[in-house]
Structure 1
């Protein structure tokens, strides 16, 4: 048996892992990073330190995708494709739809009052609140503003800029569902390794076009993809996020072979820090970062392991913080400086997340059994073997199965 310091991911896995706590920290990191452009018109936190390669908000979103890649792949290995799709829809859509409604008829009217827009012009605008909901309900964000509001803030015209990543995550979910349905996840995991290698090669090709390999994590000049339902996706965003998601998926598929040891983690810390400052972050820093997230989740202290076991507020914080920060910016809460603005935004987003979880998200998740019982496509797959030994016992809600 391997020593405790040289466990594999499979042997280090515990139902009381630290993924829930990590996701909460990542959500708060997004709030902190967004506070600079939304409240003060400055660049995202950490962008200068990395010399334009990344920032705290980008790192947080990439971290979400790496964690999701592992947990979503684990879910797909446990469930039939039909049930997997049901579970993903119930986890994402009810909370997302409620956030659209709260933003359109709750937050936007407050902004309209602060910016002195007449009620009839607000409700009857060609791009008004109802159009905001109808244009965005499929997760693809096709309307960013509401009734021409938010003209008085540094980040003008956008009510919820955080929602953009949900389309990319939904596309990753769809890819996992297809790969599970055709048997790739169970019988041909090498295909995932090959696809990830192609993505890695594309990141290398991207990096060599920049001085000192300092390519931004999200390349903005590589065109876009017009996807059905999901809308317009930037190819540069998709490359980085799908790569991180694939790294998480590989970690799950090769969990018996992936070491979780301290020397590797220390090496990854060095690679991460050097690449952030010196260059080649997208090629070296992103894989190192993905490994560190998994290592921290496996080695997390007891206090961090307790977070998110019964209530997952990270999603709610992520989808509510941006419009709240915009509202507080309109109200000039920024006059007190960064820290009060950030704390007020974070606490308010957490309050909305708590309400969303208990009123919308958790009740929706309880519908999984009902939906599965009435579906004709929910026959569970045969066990994969040692690679998923104990997977059925993942009882914490942060397992998102």
Structure 2
């Protein structure tokens, strides 16, 4: 049998345990964290992402930041479904998720609130003890509260750390997986795809009619901006579908090429009108998800050692936005140097976050997968 025929008969997600754990997810997450930094460089330095290459390539439908965050949720949907299925109890699942997402997030928000804010605050700003407790309390609930929400008022975008919105959505997706856990596996196999179809249909309807549902402040504090759920949830569900139906999804480079080509044609031939919106929303998430798992489990690409010294993707994402804001406020670097400095400093912050905070809340820190594959966990990134 020819190699091409053997490849065609392989499942997209390998059934062999060793190959399943010898994946490229760590490399993918770190690349996506840096891709978000790249995209935010345009927004935070130039004011928008219209000139960003991915935005141009997709005819303005999506940008590199969208793609990076979507991939985070695709990978998370897959690995969290796996984690939940293997958890010995709901309590065990919850503890692992909290230990992975909370410590790094709380330290990052505290640094923004109690280090960055005093350094860049206008003259006369004196935070009170009461404000400090309100800030800590809000951040415990993933509300991303800072004493001065528009601290960088002179920057093109004044937010302190605008990337943290996705952490709440990620945490609530974990809750959703736990709630779905009460269903039998056979029911989940079809409930999740049905939910995916419903969410994408509503997303298309919202964008076709120009609706972006919001709600009272309490709604935002509890579940985030409701409209964003229709962008985020399809990707998390796509990851779950890939896991739940892993035995039936074939590996096919031809299928990947067709899916990506169809998405690109939809971006440009459909334009920004109704046809383009529907086609982009229907085609882009599954094509992107298929690309992620095609690469993550590619038999000829082995980047499984990408996190041998630590998983730096979460910390890179947590600190990149505020680092870029500080660079905009204090320097006038040429744009290419601004992008490189942003990536380098964000990655350095990711290294520090891993070694000083995150690894201390896991089971003796991250160890290479070949030594203990049964412990391999996904970080809690958006």
TM bucket normalised to smaller: 0.7 to 0.9
Cα separation, 1, equivalents of 2:268 and 2:299 = 27
Q: Which residue of 2 aligns with 1:328?
A: 327
| Equivalent residues in 2 for 1:197-236, closer than 5 Å | 197-206=197-206, 208-209=208-209, 221-224=212-215, 230-231=221-222, 233-236=224-227
Partner Cα distance (2:149, 2:254) in 1:
55
CA distance 1:138–1:265, change in 2 (3 Å): same
**Offset of residue 102 of structure 1:** 1.4
Distance 1:25 1:271 in 2: 24
Shift of residue 123 of structure 1? 2.4
How far apart in 2 are the matches of 1:362 and 1:187? Answer: 36
Please say if residues 31 and 345 of structure 1, whose CA atoms lie closer than 8 Å, have aligned partners that are also in contact.
yes
Taking structure 2 as the reference length, what is the TM-score of the superposition? 0.84
Following superposition, the deviation at residue 399 of structure 1 comes to: 7.7
Q: Structure 2: how far apart are the matches of 1:255 and 1:147? A: 43
How far has the Cα of 1:257 moved from its partner?
Answer: 0.3
8 Å contact 2:80–2:378 — kept in the other structure? no
- 2:59 corresponds to 1:62: no
Change over 3 Å in CA distance of 1:397–1:270 after alignment to 2? same
Higher mean alpha-carbon deviation, 227-236 vs 338-347, is at 227-236
* Cα distance in 2, alignment partners of residues 337 and 176 from structure 1: 45
For 1:9, the equivalent position in structure 2 comes to 12
Query: Using a 3 Å threshold, how does the CA distance of structure 1 residues 250 and 147 change in structure 2: closer, same or farther?
Result: closer
Measured in 2, the distance between the counterparts of 1:107 and 1:300 equals: 45
CA contact (8 A) 2:11 2:249 kept: yes
After the TM superposition, which residues 67-146 of structure 1 pair with which residues of structure 2 at under 5 Å, given as runs? 67-79=75-87, 80-112=89-121, 117-118=123-124, 121-124=125-128, 131-141=134-144, 143=145, 146=148
Mapped partners of 2:263, 2:374: distance in 1: 30
Maintained 8 Å contact 1:18/1:300: no
SS in 1 for 2:10: strand
Q: Is the 8 A contact 1:8 1:260 kept in 2?
A: yes
Match of 1:29 in 2: 35
**How big is the shift at 1:94?**
0.3
- Which of these residues, 151, 154, 157, is aligned with residue 156 of structure 2? 154
Q: Residue 364 of structure 1: CA displacement?
A: 0.5
Shift of 1:4: 2.6
Q: Say which is worse superposed, 343-352 or 225-234, in terms of deviation.
A: 225-234
Question: Contact 1:140–1:232 at 8 Å: present in 2 too?
Answer: no
Query: Displacement, 1:15?
Result: 1.4
* Structure 1: distance between partners of 2:155 and 2:235: 33
Distance 1:3 1:52, change over 3 A: same
Partners of 2:190 and 2:259 in 1: CA distance:
24
Deviations 1:169-222 (A, max 9, x none): 111110101111x1334654222222122123223434554xxxxxxxxx7723
Which ranges in structure 2 are unaligned for 5 or more consecutive residues? 270-275, 366-371
Please name the residue that 1:317 is paired with. Answer: 316
SS at match of 1:306: coil
Give how far 1:140 is off: 2.6
Asked whether the equivalents of residues 100 and 379 of structure 2 are also in contact (C-alpha less than 8 Å), the reply is no
RMSD: 2.8
TM-score w.r.t. the length of structure 1 is 0.80
Does the CA contact (< 8 Å) of 1:220 and 1:237 recur in 2?
no
Deviation at 1:394, TM superposition (A): 4.4
- Could you say if the C-alpha distance between residues 300 and 149 of structure 1 is closer, same or farther in structure 2, counting changes exceeding 3 Å? farther
Aligned to 1:346: 343
Structure 1 unmatched runs, 5+: 210-218, 369-391
| Equivalent pair of 1:321/1:345 in contact (CA under 8 Å) | yes
Q: 1:202 to 1:18 in 2, by over 3 A?
A: same
Could you tell me how far apart the structure 1 residues matched to 2:184 and 2:147 are?
A: 41
Pair 147,78 (structure 1): closer, same or farther in 2 beyond 3 Å: closer
Output the CA distance in 1 between the equivalents of 2:91 and 2:293.
28
Q: Is structure 2 residue 239 aligned with structure 1 residue 248?
A: yes
Residue 398 of structure 1 deviates from its aligned partner by: 4.4
**In structure 1, what is the equivalent of residue 288 of structure 2?**
289
Taking the aligned partners of 1:242 and 1:336, their CA distance within structure 2 comes to 37
SS of 1:304's equivalent? coil
Distance 1:271 1:29, change over 3 A: same
